[in-house]
Amino acid sequence: MSGGLLVAGTTSDAGKSVVTAGICRWLVRQGVKVAPFKAQNMSLNSFVTREGAEIGRAQAMQAQACRVEPTAQMNPVLLKPGGEQSSQVVLLGKPVGEMSARGYHGGRQQRLLGTVLDCLAELRGTYDAVICEGAGSPAEINLRRTDIVNMGIARGAGFPVLVVGDIDRGGVFASFFGTVALLAPEDQALVAGFLVNKFRGDVSLLEPGLDMLHGLTGRRTYGVLPFRHGLGIDEEDGLRVSLRGTVRESVVAPPVGEDVLRVAVCAVPLMSNFTDVDALAAEPGVVVRFVDRPEELADADLVIVPGTRGTVRALEWLRERGLADAIARRVAEGRPVLGICGGFQLLGEHIEDDVESRAGHVDGLGLLPVRVRFAREKTLTRPVGEALGEHVEGYEIHHGVADVTGGDPFLDGCRVGQTWGTHWHGSLESDGFRRAFLREVAAAAGRRFVPAPDTSFAALREEQLDRLGDLIEHHADTYALWRLIESGAPQGLPFIPPGAPA
């Protein structure tokens, strides 16, 4: 096999990331050497590769589905929103500056097409197949001229395109037809067909519609994937997380001890790497929810202030909403609080920021003996260490440099009583450390909670990826998919008017 495929979607959140991961895992189980690729990703959830490059977490998970190490070539352009109008541009794993949406789409994006095609060519020279993920919809007619992630990459590489639609939202037939009908003839020629995602019910009731869709477009449907709970991989966009009431899915198994443990995560603006709490939600008896009101901290056994792309903005938000005072009261009462990355920084005494917010000197919450200065160069590392007598691995992504002046050492940060702070993302994925930390939290909270002795977060991730592979293997036409990846889009696909506007 030698080829590739672009997985596009009728909308954002149609299921492109999980379908891409599922196809990757299915191919790997067939003995195919495969790699994921997303030319351009907009995400506040990112990861650090072994060579110190920053890429989207979804692509890191897709690399895990392929059973290969993630590299910068798998996500050459990463956009990290810093507000409604601008993003940090990360190119080949390193930040190259801030840019407005108008400036990026006004010329910079198109100039990156050569770079992303070079990365794709490098992957194609190394792997048997490359499964690409698009972004948003390929029919964004206002952005097609500068597109480097959907039809731009498909046309540049000559890859066939599979369009995924989320039928759970309704309107999937109109979305499939409209997506094709708004593409130029050259782009339509690459759209091989469709994949229905999140179907509930009897597939035989859907089949007449699929036949009609084939008659209207000349394109077949390659599979109908049933709705399954808990199959999402690391979300791309923290901006789309509900600011209140969102609960991370937890293992169904009952708690080992007599009590559950309640974790409240402050849903700060520009929240980044909120996937840090997934390892907690994987523990039987741990309930994780996102909150934005001070009264919601009252019954929490642990409060987490997560990472953010806007530390000073998050600090102001906590104060405006009364959460800062509620956190300070918790600390005074000796109740557990954990700050991660930006959340660690704002727990400190003061922040000197002439880089991210350009606010200059800002007083922090003063809950940890830490002073933070923002540096222009971003720290991107994969640290390894020990805490609470356990081995810990993590990754760091931050401009803030912390000067720790007191407290007890904790993962290159510090601890004072039951207030903890670290720049390390992903530390809670280390099973022994996570269990030790939860025991400390339970003791401080007076809960008779006992961590499960055998929860392996890495094994749960592997099981999740295998379930995605099973979805493709059992509910998609894998023979047709194989031919598509190997031979490209079928010849003679009809043009569906009106096509893209001039």
Catalytically active residues are 341, 425
3-class SS string, 142-164: CCHHHCCCCHHHHHHHCCCEEEE
Residue 21 CA to residue 26 CA, distance in Å, equals 9
SS3 364: coil
Given a contact cutoff of 8 angstroms between Cβ atoms, the answer to whether 238 and 210 are in contact is no
**Residue 34: its H or E element:** strand 34-37
Among the listed residues 233, 226, 237, the one whose alpha carbon sits nearest the alpha carbon of residue 198: 226
CB atoms under 10 Å from CB of 477, counted, come to 16
Pure H helices in 182-273: 185-188, 203-217
Residue 31 CA to residue 384 CA, distance in Å, equals 32
Q: Which residue has the tokens 């991210």?
A: 356
Phi and psi (nearest 5°) for 137? -120, 145
Residue 66 CA to residue 209 CA, distance in Å, equals 34
Question: Which tokens sit at 173?
Answer: 């037939």
Question: Which tokens sit at 210?
Answer: 């699929």
SS3 262: strand
Among the listed residues 103, 117, 99, the one whose alpha carbon sits nearest the alpha carbon of residue 40: 117
> Counting beta carbons within 10 angstroms of the beta carbon of residue 91, is it exposed (0 to 12), middle (13 to 18) or buried (19 or more)?
middle
The beta strand positions in 342-470, using DSSP E, are 350-353, 360-363, 370-381, 384-387, 390-393, 396-404, 408-410, 413-416, 419-422
SS3 351: strand
Among the listed residues 270, 342, 287, the one whose alpha carbon sits nearest the alpha carbon of residue 83: 270
Question: Which tokens sit at 177?
Answer: 């037809």
